[in-house]
């Protein structure tokens, strides 16, 4: 099977652990998010297809900025220039992701269907000997295979998607075993495709609240990637969603023992805060997330959870002030869909000038928010991250 490439590694590409495994204990209580009212004048807006080059790199810039409408349009422009086949496939992947972000699921599925059999000889280097002399193997990004497997999920058929992901994972495991036999060596870590497949399947399990099955996959990943604190922390969060605080604490303790200066490590302090939230110790949680923000001022999850702690401590005005200050520090980077939803709900709880503040917040969201933020749907609700 093909190797991992830059598109596969993109944080917004399918197969990465997305919002579901980023949920923390807060999501089970109120949520973890918030945003701010009107920002300062002259806020830099998100880039458009006219402000970047008509290249794969330009598309990546737009994707990172959440300019999904612009991504879809720029991909069409790029494809018209007839790029190399492997670049064209990466561009098509970005367009499919963009369409899904924009909730145009049927169009995304049709675009994926146009590619036909992903194992077709037409998707191999050998089919283009003049363009790729001497190269062999598939040019299909592995993320496209994960996207194909996960597509039924977007139409409400998550268990069909889980079945497809299980088959893809089995294929990756078989190819990994075969590669080890050929090389005669034991790999020190799981191949990238195998890792991506496990993460993609774990993510689907979490959507169905099959936390035990997700935990099993993440435990396997933690064994092959003991140095990857992201995997370790995800495992801890799944345990928290299961209500297994002791198991989460054990995972976090083992990670903390490997950190040289734990008290000055943002990840460690965040994990401590999550456990405090799960235990209902909101004062300790507030202190831990405040420490995270001192160490990592742009940490949106910490800002969200700090506000939730303040809310449960009965300090709603401080919760609102802290979220507004966080957004105003850098609206373009700090605005988040869940923040928008939660802050709107906090305005309603506070009631004083709530309607005016929500209107101003919506104006800010339209300027700096990602294209996939559904303002009408999220306004006035308490949403999980």
Write down the pLDDT at residue 28.
29
pLDDT of residue 285: 97
385 residues of the chain, pLDDT tens digit each: 554 443 333 332 333 333 333 333 323 222 233 333 333 444 567 788 999 999 999 999 999 988 999 999 999 999 999 999 999 999 999 999 999 999 999 999 999 999 999 999 999 999 999 999 999 999 999 999 999 999 999 999 999 999 999 999 999 999 888 887 776 655 555 688 999 999 999 999 999 999 999 999 999 998 888 888 889 899 999 999 999 999 999 999 999 998 999 999 999 999 999 999 999 999 999 999 999 999 999 999 999 999 999 999 999 999 999 999 998 888 877 777 777 888 888 888 877 677 778 777 777 776 766 666 665 544 444 433 4
CA separation for the pair 84, 178 (Å, rounded)? 30
Burial of 51 (0-12, 13-18, 19+ CB in 10 A): middle
Which tokens go with 359? 């209107």
Provide the b/e sequence for 130-156 (b: ≥16 CB within 10 Å). Answer: eebeeeeebbbbbbbbbbbbbbbbbee
In whole angstroms, give the CA distance from residue 287 to residue 290.
5
SS3 (DSSP) at 40: coil
Each residue of 13-27: b (16+ CB within 10 Å) or e?
A: bbbbbbebbbbbbbb
pLDDT at residue 273, rounded to an integer: 97
101 and 371 Cβ atoms separated by less than 8 Å: yes
Which pLDDT belongs to residue 373? 64
Q: Kindly state the DSSP code that residue 138 receives in the 8-state scheme.
A: B
The span from the CA of 203 to the CA of 206, in Å, is: 5
Helix (H) or strand (E) holding 161: helix 158-183
Stated pTM of the model: 0.78
Cβ atoms within 10 Å of 3's Cβ, excluding its own: 12
**pLDDT, position 287:** 98
């Amino acid at each position: 099977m093909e190797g991992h490439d830059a598109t596969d590694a993109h944080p917004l590409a399918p197969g990465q652990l997305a919002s579901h495994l980023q949920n923390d204990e807060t999501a089970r209580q109120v949520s973890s998010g918030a945003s701010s009212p009107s920002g300062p004048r002259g806020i830099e807006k998100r880039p458009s297809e006219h402000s970047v080059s008509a290249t794969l790199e330009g598309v990546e810039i737009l994707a990172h900025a959440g300019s999904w409408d612009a991504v879809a349009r720029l991909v069409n422009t790029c494809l018209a220039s007839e790029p190399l086949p492997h670049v064209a496939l990466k561009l098509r992947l970005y367009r499919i992701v963009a369409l899904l972000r924009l909730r145009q699921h049927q169009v995304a599925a049709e675009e994926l269907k146009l590619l036909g059999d992903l194992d077709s000889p037409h998707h191999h280097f050998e089919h283009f000997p003049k363009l790729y002399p001497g190269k062999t193997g598939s040019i299909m990004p592995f993320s496209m295979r994960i996207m194909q497997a996960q597509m039924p999920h977007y139409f409400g058929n998550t268990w069909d998607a889980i079945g497809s992901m299980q088959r893809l994972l089995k294929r990756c495991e078989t190819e990994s075993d075969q590669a080890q036999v050929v090389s005669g060596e034991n790999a020190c870590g799981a191949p990238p495709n195998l890792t991506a497949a496990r993460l993609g399947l774990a993510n689907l399990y979490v959507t169905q609240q099959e936390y035990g099955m997700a935990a099993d996959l993440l435990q396997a990943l933690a064994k092959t990637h003991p140095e990857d604190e992201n995997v370790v922390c995800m495992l801890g969060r799944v345990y928290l969603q299961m209500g297994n605080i002791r198991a989460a604490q054990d995972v976090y303790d083992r990670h903390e023992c490997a950190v040289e200066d734990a008290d000055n490590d943002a990840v460690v302090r965040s994990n401590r805060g999550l456990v405090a939230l799960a235990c209902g110790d909101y004062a300790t949680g507030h202190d831990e997330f405040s420490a995270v923000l001192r160490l990592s001022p742009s940490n949106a999850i910490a800002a969200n959870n700090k506000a939730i702690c303040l809310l449960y401590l009965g300090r709603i005005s401080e919760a609102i002030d802290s979220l507004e200050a966080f957004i105003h520090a850098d609206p373009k980077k700090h605005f988040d869909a869940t923040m928008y939803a939660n802050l709107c709900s906090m305005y309603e709880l506070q009631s004083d000038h709530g309607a005016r503040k929500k209107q101003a917040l919506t104006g800010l969201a339209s300027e700096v928010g990602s294209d996939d933020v559904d303002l009408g749907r999220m306004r006035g609700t308490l949403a999980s991250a």
